[in-house]
Each structure stands twice: as structure tokens, then as C-alpha cells.
Amino acid sequence: MDLSEVIDAYLVESDELLREMESILLRTESSLPNDEDLNAIFRAVHTIKGTAGMFGYETTVSFTHVVENLLDELRSHLIPFQPILTELLLKAKDHLSFLVSEETKGKIKNEKITFGQSILDEMKPFLQSSSGAPETNRENKENQIGNQEESNTNELKKSGTNPGVGKKITETTSYLISFRPNQNVFSQGLDPISFIGYLKKIGTILSLKTIDQFLPDPIEFDPENCYLGFEINFSSKENLETVQNVFNFIEADCFLHIYPPGFSVEDLVDLSNQLPEEEIYLGNVWKEIQILDDNLFLTYLEEIKSRKTGIPSLSSLVSQTNQKEESESIAKNQNADQIKDSHKSSTIKVDSKRIDNLINRVGELVVSCANMNQLIGDSDDSNLQESSLIVMRLLNEVREISLKLRMVPIGESFQKYSRIVRDLGKELKKDIRLITEGDETELDRNIVEKLSDPLTHLVRNACDHGLELPEERKKNEKDHQGTVKLTAYHEAGNVIIEVSDDGNGISKEKVWNKGIEKGIVFGEMPDSDEEVYKLLFHPGFSTASQITNVSGRGVGLDVVYKNIESLRGSISIKSIPNQGSRFILRLPLTLAIIEGFLVAVGKSHFIIPMEMVLECLHFSDDHKTDSNQFFALRGNLIPFLRLRDYYPCDVDSEQPRENIVIVRNGDKKAGIVVEKLLGEYQTVIKPMGSVFRHVKGVSGSSILGDGNVALIIDVPSLFERTITVENQKFYSHRG
Amino acid sequence: MEPKQTIQNTKEGMEIQWHGYLTVPFIKEWLIYTNQWETQKGKKIILHLNGIERIDSSGIQFLVFLKKRCQTNQQILSLTNHSLPVLKVLDLLGLVSFFGDRIKVKKEHSNEVEFRYGTRKVS
């Protein structure tokens, strides 16, 4: 059996559960957990324990066992929830997530086990202090269960007083499980006992009989074969599917039959025909495990006899109608359960590589369709043109749907920062609260993953550099609790993520002086905030006077900048003294396909991302100003650049007529002067070869329908480059 | 864990102290030892199980096998000093009444085994 896939599923599931547990625990810091929260945490630990047990990960099981005990006591209100438990349970969660991932790789080192033990030791006082009371409680509970069972059997007996009518066996939630492992299960590495043991995790084994009828004579006995079978009277609130899932791994190597509650004597007779043991022996077994009482046992024998002789028994005739009604009501109940479950199973897990593959293929399809469209456009066949339009429309839809497959709400990844902020607050002795906004904003999964590091860095920075110590905040008449805020929202085809704090802001003077000190800049401080703050992204730049564990080593912001740049995004900083600072990340929605606007300069083609295009104009003399850097548009001066100045292109034979495409980048507008406007164009981004990695102003390339290559213009970086060039001119002029 | 048996012959029969794992790979070795039992017709065989550190389905099957074999050989097999792993499996599979031995549960183990079913003698 190939376990690697199953283990992967275990890892993913555990990771999800532990994350959920963490987010609940973090919530408990501000408000006490309610029953639902405690149940959810308990379920998480319990599920991990169960699965780990099936794989035989004993370190994980023994650790979770104690944690589970503590949680069980909490959720039964045997002990009150105390804030210190949050800390302890978070520690346990961290250790557990280590155990889960490490134990799948092999044996866990002793020191780690000792560490786990130390956490458990810390839990002991809570467990022991309550050991007196809960035990009695637990006993009571069990007694209650016992009483219930008894009363159920009493009911059975009552109903059995008229054996002809009462054929339905259980009205409780009791299952009958017939489990006969194949002879070769031991050689498959499967241990039937572990599956039975697992049953106890989802319910109560009311009674169990080990069938040893097929143990052979001493001479034939082969210890490597399994000869045992099991009949189990099992009570659980779980549905049939969950009970069946317990035996998932052994399903192929055993005879398994599970009757959900509400089976009849007839069902048992059917089952006895499928089992290797004799009917009467089985009847006795079922009697022994309290599936049948004396009267029902007689009915059972009668039924067997009638089947053999072919004469229907009286009881079966009478109960046929009853049975039909019952099975209908059971079906109804099961339907309701299924509807409940259907919501749960509405998501499926898919390997992200498969989705990437699909998107790549759709991308190829988009390119070839564009090619086909161009050819069809040249022909006069109107039918052909019409159907090509339909294909294009459908393709657009497919493209949008497949791109959405990779979209995930950013809230999930925001969650982990609450833990980081909490731990940092403790470490830095600051009281910090994290607020997230726009959790539902969707973003390409690939981008979300790559954002993790830069965001972590920015959040850490905000906590360490941004926020002041509580005393200082009090002096400045601020709330002693500092706030770090993560905000996400959509804007013009981009996703904006802001990391802000309400600290003391970034001192422009300090940054500029440091820049001079480092020899990166010289002269007077410019008015533009942006230019000054840009220095922060310089490698090795740090204004922190003290190096802490958290930050201040001068590595970081430059890496953040590079990471964001590699995602075709941009980053800007806003800061107000004594009110805080804001890091604004602007990112494309997706990396694969863009809506572009195709333009040409000479014979070369360029694509400008559609979401940045505001309008297109003929670049006439009316617009031109004396300056060669600005043009007038409806009374406003807008900076512009000529693509031809940046990318020398062949000149078309005829005199070019200039057009200007007005683009926006964030809240700024600018113009790009081109020669031909070719219209909207859907395109797949092909990454540039490594030779062109450092070329600024171009984010990728695309193959046009006619086979030509078009460069995709990276508007933010093109403008940035322009500003840098202008600045250099400016300074060299001044220098 | 290597299996180890210490056999002591007494007037009534033999007392055997078992150690190690009662799992598939080791049972064949146990089987060789148990052939010595054939000479003990009509006598009592006591198995001390406190040394059993691990037992799985095949192990418990082996104990069931021994019990049945002793019954046909008119020997009395009695299991004693059950270790916690053995107790847990006997409890889970409801085999306590099958073996019919007296069982002592240490106080610290009382939470780990329930004996909620299967202790009744089979009629």
C-alpha cells in the first residue's frame, strides 16, 4: 500500500486543524472561549490523535492524549478556563505541529520528547487538581450510559414479547459491525486491533465478540495468518460513512459488513449467509453481544428455518409493512444528514500543480485563438466570423473561471500574523493589537505564498520600529495599546495590501542623514517624501539605533522590495509624524494572463496592462507644452514619456502619427507616447529569459497571433526608471 | 525486542516467564518453545505475562490458539501478571472471560482499561 499520499493528506489536514486551533486560542486572549470554541479545539486535537494512531505515530499519540484530557476537562467544565492555559495550549500546538511533521519523517529525537514532556508536566497541575471531581462525574456519566443501555434492552425485551411483530432490532444508535480480516493481513502490515481500537474514538463499543472458530489444528497453525474475526455491537452518533471510514485502510483486505441502526432480523439472516460461520453459532454470538434478545433469537431461528424450507414465517409477513415505513423514515433521516454534510464537502483539495497546468494550457489556447481570430478576421465568411466570436466568448469565460480556481482569500494568511504580533508583543514588552480588514479579498495563491515573507517582515518592523513602548505612548497621549493593521482591497485590477501602525512614524531627517552617512545620497533633503523613504529599501540600510532579536540588522526591507518587485508589484510608504506609518503594497491579481492594450512603435509591438489604461488620445499640438516632459490635458499638466526614447525601434516608412495612452499608477497619472493603437488584447505572459532579467520597464513578453513578439510594459517600473534618470540629470547638473 | 522465555518445572506442571514482543516476527520462535508443552499432558501451565511489552492481533491470536490447544491436551493454561499492553488488548477484544483468569489491575492502570463488556462467562 502506498502510504505517501495518505500521509500527505494527514499533514495537510493536521496543519489546517492546528491553524484553526491557534486562531481560536488567540481569540481567547481577549474573550473567554465558549463551548463551541472548546469543542473545536478538542476536535482538532482528537482528530490528529486518531489519525496519528492509525499510522502508529506513538510520540504524537501519547502527547495528544494528555492534551486531549485537559481539553476534555475544559469542555466538560470540570475545570475553568484560565488565561495561562492559552499560553500552555499554544505551546502544545507548536510542539504538536513539530511532532506531526517530524514523525512522518522518522523517529523523533529524545530531547524533543523531553521537551514535549515538560509541556505535559506544566499541564499536570490542571489535570490533577480536578482529578477527584471529574472521576466521579465520569463514572456517573458511564453509569448513565449503562442505564440507558439497560433500558434499551428492556425496551427490546418488551417489543420482543410478541415475536411475530417486533422485528426491528435497534432503536438506538447502535451499529452491528461484522469484521473478518483476510488471512494475509499481517503480511500487509495491518493490525486489525488498531482499527477496532479506533472505533472507540468515534463511539462506544457496547459489546464485542472475538470469533475464533477458524483457528486451525496445531500442525496447520501459521502465526503469520490471521484466523480471527470480530462481531461488534457499536454505539455512535456518527453517520454510517464515518464508521465505514474507520476501516478505510483495511477495506480491501477484509470482509466487512456494517449495519446502521434500525436493521432487522431478516438483515441478520442475510448477513449470516455471507459469513463463513454457521447461522446458529452467529445467532448465539449476536445474542451474546446483545444484538438479539431471547425472543428475537427465536425469531431469527424461525426465519432461518423458513428460508431453508421455503415457507415464509408468520412474523415476516406481518412485519413487511412496518419495515417499509421504518426504512423510509431512516432514509429520510439519512437524507437530512447528507444535506448537512453536503455543505462540508463542497470544497475539494486539488494539487496546485494541476491548476497551474490547466492555466498554462488555457493560456496557450488564448494565444492560438487570437491567432485564429486574426486569420478569420481577414476572411469574408460571416458565419465563420460569428462562430469564432462565440468561441472567443466561451474561451474568455473558461479563462476567468480557471484563473479564479487559484484565487484564495487573503484572510487565511492574515491569520498567522496574529500569532506573530502576539509573540512579538511579549518579547518586546509592548501591548499590540492586530486588526485585519478585507480578509475576503481574493488573490492568486502563488502570490499569497510569495507574499508571506515580505509581509512577515513588514509586520515585524511595524511592531519593533513602528510602535513605541507603552510609557512613551502614554507620554504622547496615545492609547497604551499599539495597533498594527493589515488591510487588503481591490483597486483597478490590482490588489492593495497595507501594513500600517499607529506608532511614531518615520523621521525623514533621520533617514536622509543616514543616507548621507552611508554615502548613498548627498545634498539637501528633497521635499518629496517618497524619494526619502525610498532610501529605506537600500540594501544594508537601517536607522535602528539598537539591534534587537527582531530587527535592526539592516537586512530586510531591500529583500521585501525585491520580493514585491518579482511579483510585478510595487511598494510605497506613507508616514505622518506621531501618527504612524503605512506600507502600501500594490500587486497584480494574477501572474498568468493579463488583459492588455496593444500598441506599436515603428514595427515593434508593446502591451500595456489594460487595468492601468485610462484613455487614449491623439497627441496633437494642442496638448504639447514648451516643456518636453509635460502635456496639457483638460487644464492639467501630465508627465509623459516617449516609448521610442526608451526602446529604439525601426521606423515605419510613413511619418508616424503620435498617440498618447494615459495610464495610471496608484493615484498618479502619466502618458506614454506611442505611434499606433491596436486595441484590446488578451495575452499570456511569458517570462523573459534570464538574460533580460535586469531589463527595467518590461515585465514579460507575449507571442502575438501572427507569431511576432510583444513586450509587456511594466508601467510602475518604467516610471520609476524615468524618475531616476531625471534625478540623476538633476543632481549631476547641481553637482 | 528479542523474545526470552524462562521455564521452571514445578510439581504441578510448568511456569513460564515471557518477555519481549508478542508480534508476528517473534511468534514463530515462541511456537518452538511451546512444543515442549506436549510432554506436560494433564498438567498446569502458568504464563507470566508481565514482561510482554507489546502485543498485536497475531499475539492475541497466538494466546487464543494456546488456550484452545491446552484444552484439547487436557492441560490447564493460566495467564497471570498481565502487563498493561496485554490487558488493554484483552479488554478491547472482550477476551477476559474466554481465558477466565483472575486479573489484577494496578491502581495506576485503572484508567486505561474499562472491562465494560466481555467479562461475563460464556454460557
| pLDDT tens digits along B92-108 | 888 888 888 888 888 88
Q: Do A205 and B92 touch (CB under 8 A)?
A: yes
Q: Do A226 and B24 touch (CB under 8 A)?
A: no
Q: Do B57 and A210 touch (CB under 8 A)?
A: no
Mutate: best of B71, B89, B93, B114, partner A, most A CBs <10 A: B93
β-partners of residue A255 are A180
Q: Do B57 and A230 touch (CB under 8 A)?
A: no
Q: Smallest Cβ distance to B57: which of A142, A228, A289? A: A228
DSSP for A323-367 reads: HHHHHHHHHHHHHHHHHHHHHHTT-----HHHHHHHHHHHHHHHH
Runs of H (alpha helix) within A429-507: 445-461, 470-475
CA distance B95 to chain A (A): 7
Q: Smallest Cβ distance to B61: which of A205, A209, A226? A: A226
- Residue A19: per-residue pLDDT: 87
- Residue A727: per-residue pLDDT: 60
* B56 neighbourhood in chain A, CB within 8 Å: 191, 193
Q: What is the block-wise mean pLDDT of chain A (735 residues), using blocks of 10 residues? A: 71 86 83 83 86 82 87 82 84 89 81 84 71 37 39 38 46 79 86 88 87 84 89 87 86 87 83 86 86 82 77 49 52 52 59 81 80 80 87 85 82 82 84 87 83 86 83 83 88 82 84 81 78 79 54 61 80 85 82 78 86 84 69 80 78 73 80 85 71 74 75 80 64 53
- Residue A558: per-residue pLDDT: 79
Task: Check if the beta carbon of residue A70 is closer than 8 Å to that of residue A38.
Answer: no
- Residue A128: per-residue pLDDT: 54
Task: Check if the beta carbon of residue A34 is closer than 8 Å to that of residue A82.
Answer: no
Q: Smallest Cβ distance to B24: which of A186, A209, A288? A: A186
- Residue A639: per-residue pLDDT: 83
Q: Do A230 and B93 touch (CB under 8 A)?
A: yes
Q: Is A79 in a helix, a strand, or coil?
A: coil
Q: Is A5 in a helix, a strand, or coil?
A: helix
Q: What does the alpha-carbon distance between residue A619 and residue A617 come to, in Å, rounded to a whole number?
A: 6
Return the residue matching grid coordinates 519481549.
Answer: B20
Q: Do B92 and A193 touch (CB under 8 A)?
A: yes
| pLDDT tens, position by position, B1-54 | 677 778 888 888 888 888 888 888 788 777 777 777 777 777 888 989 988 888
CB contact B98 to A (< 8 Å): yes
CB contact B117 to A (< 8 Å): yes
HSE (side-chain half, CA atoms, 13 Å) at A196: 31
DSSP state of A624: B
Closest of A196, A211, A319 to residue A258, by C-alpha: A196
Closest of B64, B59, B65 to residue B24, by C-alpha: B59
Residue B43 grid coordinates: 498438567
| pLDDT tens, position by position, A666-699 | 677 888 888 888 888 777 677 676 777 677 778 7
Nearest residue of chain A to residue B122 (CA atoms):
A288
Q: Do B93 and A208 touch (CB under 8 A)?
A: yes
Q: Do B118 and A209 touch (CB under 8 A)?
A: yes
Q: Do B93 and A181 touch (CB under 8 A)?
A: no
Residue A133 grid coordinates: 471531581
Burial class (CB within 10 angstroms; exposed 0-12, middle 13-18, buried 19+) of A594: buried
The sign of the dihedral angle between the CA atoms of A10, A11, A15, A21 is positive
| pLDDT tens, position by position, A389-418 | 888 889 888 887 887 787 888 887 887 888
Q: Is A550 in a helix, a strand, or coil?
A: coil
Task: Check if the beta carbon of residue A75 is closer than 8 Å to that of residue A39.
Answer: yes
Q: Smallest Cβ distance to A218: which of B69, B89, B122? A: B69
Residue A315 CB neighbours (<10 A): 21
Query: What is the CA A236 to chain-centroid distance, rounded?
Result: 30
Closest of A518, A526, A444, A527 to residue A488, by C-alpha: A444
* A142 neighbourhood in chain B, CB within 8 Å: 116
Q: Do B57 and A197 touch (CB under 8 A)?
A: no
- Residue A345: per-residue pLDDT: 46
CB contact B118 to A (< 8 Å): yes
DSSP for B24-65 reads: HHHHHHHHHHHGGGGGGTT-EEEEEEEEEEEE-HHHHHHHHH
Q: What does the alpha-carbon distance between residue B51 and residue A514 come to, in Å, rounded to a whole number?
A: 72
- Residue A180: per-residue pLDDT: 92
- Residue B31: per-residue pLDDT: 79
